Amino acid sequence: MNHSEEADNPVPESVSNLVVHIIDTHLDHLQDITTKFEMELDSVELELDKGGFALKKQMLDDRRFPKMHLNLQRLLQVIAHGEQVFPRVKEKCSSKKWFSSEDINSLDELIGRLRRLKENVGFISNRVTAIQAGLDSWQAEQINKKLYYLSFLSIIFLPLSIITGVFGMNVGGVPWTEQKNPEVKDGFRNVMFVCVGVLVLVLLCFLFPALYSRIAAWRRTIALKRSWSLNRKSFLKRTLPVKERDSYVRL
């Protein structure tokens, strides 16, 4: 532990020294935890630089970085609580006669040390977040590769499934077969018509929003042009000079 010079006393000589010693010990404990987190993060970054697929997958499965981030947030909560409490302790103790000025200065140094520790923990938390984002990006890339291979296989087997589906229909009139019963010879053609109709209906369902938006935009354009034309005519009527001739008014 790194005790400050003002509070580095095995046995405090006064109550003020005891208060400073307790706060200093608390900060030393927080500093040790922060140092441990930092060393662990450095080792993990080194492993990630040297490791490969198996190591990254293992870290994602173990949820190592989310757990570390949660622990850092808990540590930040403790530090933030101390950042609120210790200035009040200093304010209360500074008004007491038995609290020495040297110990008040020690409290100031400890409060500053606590704030620097909070900044350090926030920096470590940002590092953990960045590493987790990198792993998430790597995982998304691996998923995209697998989907690409799956799509490639689908492209290969889709024509085969269509062919087997067409020639596996239990209807008459299938080409290159011996189904020549005149009563059911048009069954294949009728099934094809139904399939084409369903396909057209599905395409219309997908194209209807875009078609509707285009028609609505076209109607708005026509309405704007018509409104502009009417406004222009009314403007010309108001601005043209009026000539009086005899008892008639000519526009």
CB of 56 within 8 A of CB of 143?
no
11: pLDDT strictly greater than 80: no
What is the mean predicted confidence (pLDDT) over 17-34?
88
What is the mean predicted confidence (pLDDT) over 175-185?
57
3: pLDDT strictly greater than 50: no
Q: Which of 76, 74, 106, 77 is nearest to 89 (CA)?
A: 106
Q: Could you give the angle at the alpha carbon of 187 between the alpha carbons of 183 and 189, nearest 5°?
A: 130
Q: How far is CA 232 from CA 38, 190, 228, in A?
A: 74, 59, 6
pLDDT in tens, 220-241: 888 888 777 766 666 666 665 5
Torsion of CA 25, 27, 33, 34, to 10 degrees: -150
Q: Which of 122, 140, 126 is nearest to 60 (CA)?
A: 140
CB of 74 within 8 A of CB of 30?
no
Whole-structure pTM value = 0.55
Distance of CA 68 to the CA centre of its chain: 19
Q: Which residue has the higher pLDDT, 211 or 168?
A: 211
Where residue 187 falls among pLDDT bands split at 50, 70, 90?
low
The whole-number pLDDT of residue 6 equals 46
Residue 99 CA to residue 104 CA, distance in Å, equals 7
44: pLDDT strictly greater than 80: yes
What is the mean predicted confidence (pLDDT) over 5-21?
68
Tokens for 144, please give them. 């995209």
2: pLDDT strictly greater than 60: no
The whole-number pLDDT of residue 88 equals 87
Q: Which of 108, 78, 80 is nearest to 94 (CA)?
A: 108
Residue 111 CA to residue 88 CA, distance in Å, equals 11
The whole-number pLDDT of residue 4 equals 47
Distance of CA 80 to the CA centre of its chain: 27
Scanning 63-186, the segments in alpha helix (DSSP H) are 64-94, 101-167
68: pLDDT strictly greater than 50: yes
For the chain, give me the number of helices (H) and strands (E)? Answer: 5, 2
